[in-house]
Amino acid sequence: MNLEGKIVFIAGAITGIADYKQIFAVAEQRLQEQDSIVLNPAVLPWGMEWEAYLQITKEMVRCADAIYVLQNWENSRGVREELALAEQLGKEIIYEPREVVIV
């Protein structure tokens, strides 16, 4: 996958995931190594309502060229909504390979 110069949004479960910041940070680093511009929702400030986060992440999806979906996203309502929007907008969707080791 050639991500050079593309804006890539990381989609992944956050609620209920204790080490989500590290998981997103590792993905962000991998994507930056491919010369992409990364939109990482895990760096948003803590304390807002869930709906506010979703509003922000949906705007990130609109700005992105591609969506990089982390493993174990299936039970995340937010990721499902982000993916539905991405599909509606015709964004490229890339699923993290299963062989990627999550630290």
Widest CA span of the chain, in angstroms?
35
CB burial of residue 90 (10 Å; 0-12, 13-18, 19+): exposed
pLDDT tens per residue, range 36-83? 999 999 999 999 999 999 999 999 999 999 999 999 899 999 999 999
Instruction: Tell me the pLDDT band of 103, cut-offs 50, 70 and 90.
Output: very low
pLDDT score recorded for residue 101: 54
String of DSSP letters for 64-80: -SEEEEPSS-TT-HHHH
Mean pLDDT of 28-34: 96
